[in-house]
Structure 1
Amino acid sequence: MERHRYCVIGAGIVGLSTAHHLLEADPGATLVVLDGADEVAVHQTGHNSGVIHSGIYYEPGSLKATLCRAGERATKEFCTAHGVAFDECGKLIVATDDVEVARLVKLQERAAVNGITCQPVERGELADLEPNVTGLRALHLPATGIVDYRLVAGKLAELVTAAGGEVRLGARVDGIVEGASGVTVSTEAASLRCDRLVVCGGLQADRLAALAGLHAGVQIVPFRGEYYQLPSSRAGFVQRLIYPVPDPDLPFLGVHLSPTIDGDITVGPSAVLGLAREGYPKFSFDARDAAAMARFPGLWRVARANIRTGLREIRNSVSKTSYLRECRKYTPGLTADDLLPREAGIRAQAVRRDGTLVHDFVIERTERMVHVLNAPSPAATAALPIGRRIAAMAEGRSAATGD
C-alpha cells in the first residue's frame, strides 16, 4: 500500500498552510494533500471577502485574537515574499446610532488589549475620509488589508509540490482508520497509509471526524453569505473597507462594503441558513445536508434563540429592498440598481448539541491525527500561524511553543 509520512485532507488555505509548514519542519518527508474538488481553494477560501483582518473583534487571549494578529503580519510578509498582490487599504467601523457608539467604545478598548492600532474618527472627519459614508462616529484601522486568498492558497500549493509533496485533487475521502502503526485513508480510487494525518475539512469537518471515529461534540451548520457587488460606474465609491458595528451576541459581522484586490466593491454578506454545504447558487438543496440539520437538536435551539435575527436574514435574502436598507444605514447614496448579483459564500459554523455557537478555533488531536473542527473567519487571515500550530501538533511538538 502507498505510504507517506504525512497526509493532509483539505486543499483550502489552512490545509495547504499546514502541509507547507510540515515540509518546512521535516524536509524530505513524504506528504500528500487530498481534496475532493478539482481545484484548490474552491470552498471557504475562494468564497470570502478577501479581507486581511486585524483581530479587533476577538476575545483577548482567544486563539482567534492571537492567531489573527500574527496572521495579519504573516500574510503580508508572505505576499511580499512571493509576489502576491495585496493592499493595506484600511478599514472603518461605522456607528450609526447611540447603541453602536457605545459598542464602538468597547471595541476600541479591546483593540488596545489586543495590541491593534486604531484611531477614533468623529462625524466630520468621517465625511472627509469617505464622502459616501454617513455615521455618528467610526474607528479607523489603517493596517487592515485586502488580498485574493485563492492566489495565496495557490502559491502555498506550489511551495508544497516544490518541496516534494503532492496535491492530489478529485480524491474525496470515504474512509479513515487510525491504528497503532499509522492511519489508513481511503478514497474511491485507492487507499494509502500515513504516519500522521491532519484533517482540515472545513464544511465537512464533522463528517470526517466521525469517519475517523472521533466524537467531536459539534456539527457543522452551513450559513450562506450572500453578496452583491457594485457596478463599474460606482468604482471608487469607497476607498476603505466599511463595516457596521457588530452585535456582540452574534457570530457574524454584518453587511459591509469591501473593495477587492481586483477592483470590485462587494456588498455583504448576509447570513442565512444554507440547505447545501457546498451549493453556491441560490436555493441550492442537498437532501443529505438538510436531513442532518433537521435531526440535529442544536440547530433548533439556535433557531429558537435567534428568531428575530433569522427572520431578518431571510428577509434580506429574498428582498433586495430589505438588503439595501441594511447598507443605507451608513451608505445612503446606494440604490437598488447598484446591487448586482455575486456568487455566495458558505460559512462552516460549528454548533454544539445544546445550541451553543462555537466562536473560537477548535483543534483536537489523537495519537496520530489532528482534526480542525472549527475554523471560521478569520481563518484565512490566520492560516499561516494556524498551519504552523497544526504542523507542530501533528509532529508531537507543543502547539504553543513549537517544541
Structure 2
Amino acid sequence: MFLNRRQVSVGLASAMFGSMAVPGTGRAQAKPIRIGVITSLTGFAQIYGDANRIGAEIAAERINAAGGVGGRKIEIVLRDDKASSDSTVAAYRDLASQGVHFFLAGPISATAVALAPLFKDTDNILIAAGPNNLSITHELFNKNVFRAQLTSVPVFAGLGKVVADKAPDIRDWIAISSDQQANIDLSNIFLASLKKAHAAKGVDVTVREMVLTKAGAGDFRAQIASLMNSGATGVLNSLVGSDSLTFYKQAKSLGLERKIKVFGDVGANLNSMKTIASAVPQSVWTPYYWYAQGDGNPVSQELYKIAVERTGTPFPYGFIGLAHDAVIALADAIKRAGSDNTADVIAALEAGRPLGAAGPVVFRKEDHTYTGEMTFINFGAAPGKPEGLEVNDVVRLSSLDYIEPATPGQPYILK
C-alpha cells in the first residue's frame, strides 16, 4: 500500500503526539495552544525569518493533522521583529498582553538578547531558534529561556576537527574575517581545534596571521591577494551574507582556487551559494543547521519533502529545521507535563528528548542550551548539476564532545 504525503505526515505526528491526552478541565482543554513566533519577516534577515515561519507552520500542521496535543490544536501567532530589538520587544509585549505564554524567536542574536531578560520570573517560555551567541545561555540565563541552536563553540570546534580529519594533507592555514569580534572568535575556535586534531596525530600545522576586512566592504581584492601570497593551502572564510558571496566571486576572478585546495566556511548556505555556483570552489566545508539528504531520520525526511514543496528549492534553509524542532519540543513538553503550567513545562523541556528534524531535541538542564547533533557538509561547484552545486560528503557529530561548560548567570570566556 502506498501512502501519500499527508498520510505519512499524520502517521509520524501521531507517533509523537497522538497517543497521550493532556489532562485538563472539560471544554478548556479545547482551547488552542498559542505559540507566538517573533521573527524577521521584513528587513535584512527576512530570508532566515521566513524560514523560521515556514518551519513553525509545518510543525503545527503536522501536529494538528494528528489531532493536536491531547485534542488541542497548535496555533502559530506571527509577529515581525523587523530585525530590530525595539520591534521585537514591542511584539512580545503585545502578544503577552493577549495571554500568549509560549514563544519562539529568531533568527538573529540581537533580537533574542533583547527578549531574554523579559522572561525572567514570568509565566512565559521562550525558545530561541537560530541565535548562536553565547550570552543567552550564559550571562543572560534564566529558567524560562531555552535555545534550539548550538553555540559557536561546539560548531566551529567540530568543524576544525572534521576538516583536519577529511583533509589531513592541508597543514598550512589562513583565515579571512570581518573585523567584528564574534567572527574573529569563531575563526580562532576553528583554527585551534584544527591544530589540536593534527597535534593528536603528531603533526604540526602552520597558521598564518588572520586577514581582516571591514564588514560590508564590498571589495576584497587586496585581502585575496594577501591570501594568495601567504603560502597557505587552506582558507577559512569567516565572512557572512553578501560579503561572503562577493568574496567568492572576486576570488574566482583572481584565481585564488589555484593556490587554495580546501576552504572552510563559517556559514555557507546552498540556497545562497547556488546563485554564484560558477564561482564556488571545488571543496568547501561548512556547518549546516539541518541537512536531510542521506539522513535516516523519518521526521527529517518528511519535513524536507514539505519544505521543498513550499519553498521550491532542493536546498531549504536550515532555519526551517530549527523552528520546526522548537515547536516540536514545546508540544512534547506540554504533552508530558499534562498541562501548560509554566513550571511543569520547563521541567518537561529539561527532561525531554523528542525527535526533531535535526535529531533528538535535547536541552542541557544547567543552562538550557541545545546539545544535539552537529552536521557538516562538503560541497563544490558542479556545472553539470541542475543547481550548479554538488554535496560531496556529510559528517554528523555529537556536540557533547565539543560543547563549552555551563556557566549560568556568568559569561563564558573564550580561551
Normalising by structure 2, we get a TM-score of 0.24
Instruction: Identify, as 1 or 2, the structure richer in strand.
Output: 1
Higher relative contact order (CA 8 A, sep 6+): 1
Instruction: Identify, as 1 or 2, the structure richer in helix.
Output: 2
Normalising by structure 1, we get a TM-score of 0.25
